[in-house]
Amino acid sequence: MRVLVTGGAGFIGSHVSRVLVEQGHGVTVLDNLWRGRRELVPEQAALVQADLADEAATEEALRGHDAVIHLAGYLEVAVSVQKPVEFTENNVVNSVRLLEAMRRAGVGKIVFSSSACVYGVPERLPLREDDPLGMQANPYGATKVAVETFLGVYHQLYDFDCVALRYFNPYGPNELCDPETHAVPNIVRAALERRPIPLYWKGEQVRDYIYVEDLARAHIAPLGARGFQVYNVGTEVGTKVIDVVETVFRILGYRVPIDDLGERPGDVAASYASSEKIARELGWRAEVDLEEGLRRTIEHYRQRLGIRE
């Protein structure tokens, strides 16, 4: 299968592109390289440096492909609050531009990078795909709900095969955001650099941490799916943030201080997945447990930061 990966030079996209190549698919990465990195694109993949706002370039890049895996988009929640119009333009309008370009190019299959945030404050745990979507606390979550809705529209109007993957908390190598807002890279980097670890809510929040290579495999599993489908992608294990910190300390063999940042408005106290549907229908399950994933992540940052044991 020939697959175009938007945002394929970024954190998750680079892993998705590599797994596609390893499984024998033809891969084209479409990335504007604003946040993505050229060196993360597999050598066997073609790279088109373009923005989804450039409809002609996107349509041209799409021709001859069988499917799209759509990961391009802004992801910082705080930025979405500060710049909601810009965020919506990039995440929602550009996604519709992509769908239109797909329609014109004759590509009718898409796997979309959605988020567990669409559920809002959970009414029950673990979260399941048939749970209602909740009120969104920020524009980032609203953009994910909006794009899922447009996928449904293009399925109804044009018989697109559409899959929305609702991620929980990805972590692992190649997570190189600047500034970094996610817990695991901030914990790992601070510990390696022997700095205080920044922590909200004393680390009592419960999250479902999924290793990025497991998540990458989850994007390939539904390429043969038909119709409109939604899948949770998580480990089905809820872990407190403070337990992630303690695991990092145990792996490193030393401790660093905690920088208690207090409470943060908008945080959900607990969120973790039921991934029974994707396991039953597509045969996907998370394979890397948290301790092994953190070991790999620590080694990645150790090499990148040039820190010896």
Burial group, residue 18, by CB count within 10 angstroms (0-12, 13-18, 19+): buried
Q: Choose the catalytic residue: 74, 140, 167, 209.
A: 140
154 an active-site residue?
Answer: no
Residues 288-303: b if buried by 16+ CB within 10 A, e if exposed: bebeebbebbbebbee
Closest CA to 203 of 238, 242, 169, 239: 242
Q: Give the DSSP letter string of 21-80.
A: HHTT-EEEEEE--SSS-GGGS-TTSEEEE--TT-HHHHHHHHTT-SEEEE--S---HHHH
Q: Rounded CA gap, 224 and 217, in Å?
A: 13
Catalytic residue numbers read 140
